[in-house]
Amino acid sequence: MEIRHTTNPTDMRQYTTERLRSEFLIESLFVAGEINMVYSHYDRVVSGGAIPTSSPLLLEDKETLKTDYFLERREVGIINIGANGRVMVDGEEYTLAKRDCLYVGLGNKEVTFHSVDPSEPAKFYFVSSLAHKNYPTKKIPIEDATPIKLGSDSQSNKRTIYQYIHNDGIQSCQLMLGMTLLEPNNMWNTMPAHLHDRRMEVYLYFDLDQDARVFHFMGEPSETRHLVVKNEQAVLSPPWSIHSGVGTNNYTFIWAMAGENYTFTDQDPVNMNDLK
């Protein structure tokens, strides 16, 4: 488990590109036959990727978390972005096709990741936050997620937001998680930008061609910076930062939030005149 500490926005103004990437960009989550995780001190969120091949992969890191098992004090949301896979939760099996989501609550002791066909492995992306009570384990396929259609072709941001874990969907303690699909020929995920100082956020960008890139904009509205992001890379977004992006073509991203409140629409819009 890699550990990332929090950053003061005033200090970030002095960062080089290399320092900015080392603090906020997660470059290598998905490695065949491995689980890779990053522990962020922003709301103590853990982001991870698992590609099980010939053997299942157990979700654990006792040394970092100092608990007997991973979900002793946590909850986790899992989305499969690869071929068909299975997640075993204390002996109960859940099959996830691409873009299906599974929520696993506090107190479940053993979570393992499996591929249906090891030659075409599943790719499990997961985000875990602290939890205070148990909510039931629940699977939701993308067709049952709550869709919100936003944007327009004229603004190059026509997209569908699928809400999986939220107040009107799968219940959790504080984790909110969903997926946004941009339509062909649409590249902006949101603009004007917004803030929500009550919550941090993690973005995973995927469904990008090898040579495609997303330019992820972050920072205080008056001190913006950018990260150049490849396929299946993630960005940690601090509560004080905008989080907006544009791609060289359309793409898909998973967003996950945790923090003070549990209100998806709690946002502070940023006026275009304030962006610099």
Segment holding 12, helix H or strand E: helix 9-12
Q: Which residues contact 116 (CB under 8 A, 6 or more apart)?
A: 83, 84, 85, 86, 95, 122
Between CA 243 and CA 235 the distance in angstroms is 9
pLDDT digits (tens, 9 = 90+) for 143-167: 999 899 999 999 999 999 999 999 8
pLDDT digits (tens, 9 = 90+) for 18-44: 999 999 999 999 999 999 999 999 999
Entry pTM = 0.95
Q: Which two tokens mark 209?
A: 């061609």
> How much is the average pLDDT of 110-134?
97
Q: pLDDT class for 71, splitting at 50, 70, 90?
A: very high
- Residue 265's pLDDT is what? 78
pLDDT digits (tens, 9 = 90+) for 230-258: 999 999 999 999 999 999 999 999 999 99
